[in-house]
Structure 1
Amino acid sequence: MTFSIVARCARTGQFGVALSSSSPAVAARCAHARAGVGAVASQNVTDPRLGPRGLDLMAAGTDAPAAIAALEAEAGAHAPWRQVTAIDAQGRVAAFSGTRALGRNGHLLGTDAVAAGNMLASDAVLPSMLAAFAASPEAPLGERLLFALEAALAAGGEEGPVHSAGMLVVDKQAWPLADLRVDWAEKAPIARLRELWTLWQPQMHDYVTRALHPDAAPSYGVPGDP
């Protein structure tokens, strides 16, 4: 029901997750990232607790492979239903896909990225995601994550239509640099996510300035904003 990518930008140190699903509000349950620590996606029959737990482990110094092994062990009898991916601050990647993951499923480890999915329409989906992510290393991380989602869709995506999509990117602050979600669309949620990114990306760093240095923040001409 989901295809996803977790990734790091080696140039900026940012971490991100992008994903799409036939289920509603996929990013609310499945996307997890923490500045300076890494990113985790928890999907298939989702346990949202696994994302924060994985980030806590990596924040304490556990690398991504050991964190994933710990999550699988802690899941116990429920592990076969889980699918979890992770990347840590050094770019180490890891994943597991339980034996009861749905349909055509799996994960693929790449450089600074992991792709995973279930109920996939073809075996080309995951390699296409990693290839699209790797193709533009100088692009902003959010752009590269969107390239990966769009490549997944072009390679077949899910067996059925997707209805939600999301992107989470963290940089240097405790809050997300980008947290964009299309929680439900009858069609084309990834295209709608692209529209949100096109709107948000040119001004996202200005909102960080607003938080840290309000005296230097730009005006956008909204009511009450001189």
Structure 2
Amino acid sequence: MPMTFSIIARCKKTGQFGGAISSSSPAVAARCLQAKAGIGVAASQNITDPYLANILLDMIKYDITPTDAISELVKNTDFIEYRQLALVNLNDPPAIFSGQHVLGVASQCIGEHAVCAGNLLENTTVPQQMLDAFQMAEGSLAERLLIALQQGLKAGGEAGPVRSAGILVVDKLEWPIIDLRVDWSETPIDDLYELWKVYEPQVEDYVIRALNPSDSPSYAVPGDE
């Protein structure tokens, strides 16, 4: 039952989609974030049904807008009032839904290229502060998502301590180019950002390793000559 604050977004410059999320529950990113290259990114949180994010991504493959996709899902899904959903595609305005049974202090905001939402929050300003931080940040999509997540924590985050965090980014390939998680920690967002800074200079190299191993660089690990 993730008690959560999150951001999902697109990068118009690169075509990437991604999301970042944190919660007091363990392994929140494993359940709540889904993305498909060239299609979009979705979040399903608050008494989570992970399947709903996949349904939304399947719907927008057929040129259904995020707003219409969420509206259709809401009309045809049991227990939808317990869910909080967000959806971003390539060109249309992002969309979000928060059911009447979403837990605690819930809030949400929609920007031009991103959606921020949360439940069981310390205060209602958390999503807006996350969105503001994302829109002001520079760098890669992953960097901007994590800056937003850090700002969410600074703004108050959840009413209680967070324990897990994760980031997911897709680009032009079937698999995510970034899928990093801290599944249980006293400081998951700081740990996730530190993990990202280790992985950041290697992201493109691992893409090359998948597409053309003959051009892939060495990392000088034992036995790698």
Any idea what the Cα deviations from partners look like across 1:142-196, whole Å, max 9, x if unmatched?
00000110000000000000000000000010000100000111x1100000011
User: Structure 2 CA distance, aligned partners of 1:6 and 1:68?
Assistant: 15
Aligned pairs for 1:168-207 within 5 A = 168-185=168-185, 187-207=186-206
TM-score of the pair, normalised by structure 1: 0.96
Q: Percent identity at matched positions?
A: 52
TM-score of the pair, normalised by structure 2: 0.97
3-state DSSP of counterpart to 2:50: coil
User: Structure 1 CA distance, aligned partners of 2:69 and 2:220?
Assistant: 46
User: Structure 2 CA distance, aligned partners of 1:189 and 1:13?
Assistant: 28
One-letter amino acid matched to 1:190: I
User: Structure 1 CA distance, aligned partners of 2:92 and 2:136?
Assistant: 17
One-letter amino acid matched to 2:142: G
Any idea what the Cα deviations from partners look like across 1:126-148, whole Å, max 9, x if unmatched?
11100000002x41000000011
Greater mean deviation of Cα atoms: 104-113 or 154-163:
104-113
What's 1:59 paired with? 61
One-letter amino acid matched to 2:154: A
One-letter amino acid matched to 1:191: D
One-letter amino acid matched to 1:205: E
3-state DSSP of counterpart to 2:88: strand
Q: How far is 1:89 from its partner?
A: 1.3
- Structure 2: tracts of 5 or more residues without a match: none
One-letter amino acid matched to 2:112: T
Aligned counterpart in structure 2 of residue 47 of structure 1, from 23, 33, 49: 49
User: Structure 2 CA distance, aligned partners of 1:176 and 1:188?
Assistant: 24
What's 1:213 paired with? 212
What's 1:11 paired with? 13
What's 2:157 paired with? 157
Q: 1:196 to 1:91 in 2, by over 3 A?
A: farther
What's 1:121 paired with? 122
One-letter amino acid matched to 2:130: M
Q: How far is 1:19 from its partner?
A: 0.3
3-state DSSP of counterpart to 1:180: strand
3-state DSSP of counterpart to 1:167: strand
- Structure 1: tracts of 5 or more residues without a match: none
User: Structure 2 CA distance, aligned partners of 1:58 and 1:182?
Assistant: 29
Any idea what the Cα deviations from partners look like across 1:15-40, whole Å, max 9, x if unmatched?
00100000000000000111000000
What's 1:140 paired with? 140
User: Structure 2 CA distance, aligned partners of 1:189 and 1:74?
Assistant: 36
User: Structure 1 CA distance, aligned partners of 2:177 and 2:91?
Assistant: 20
What's 2:88 paired with? 87
3-state DSSP of counterpart to 2:76: helix
What's 2:24 paired with? 22
| Cα RMSD, aligned residues only | 0.9
One-letter amino acid matched to 1:175: W
Q: How far is 1:223 from its partner?
A: 3.0
CA contact (8 A) 1:8 1:91 kept: no
One-letter amino acid matched to 1:133: F
Q: 1:146 to 1:91 in 2, by over 3 A?
A: farther
Q: How far is 1:91 from its partner?
A: 4.6
User: Structure 1 CA distance, aligned partners of 2:115 and 2:106?
Assistant: 14
User: Structure 2 CA distance, aligned partners of 1:112 and 1:224?
Assistant: 45
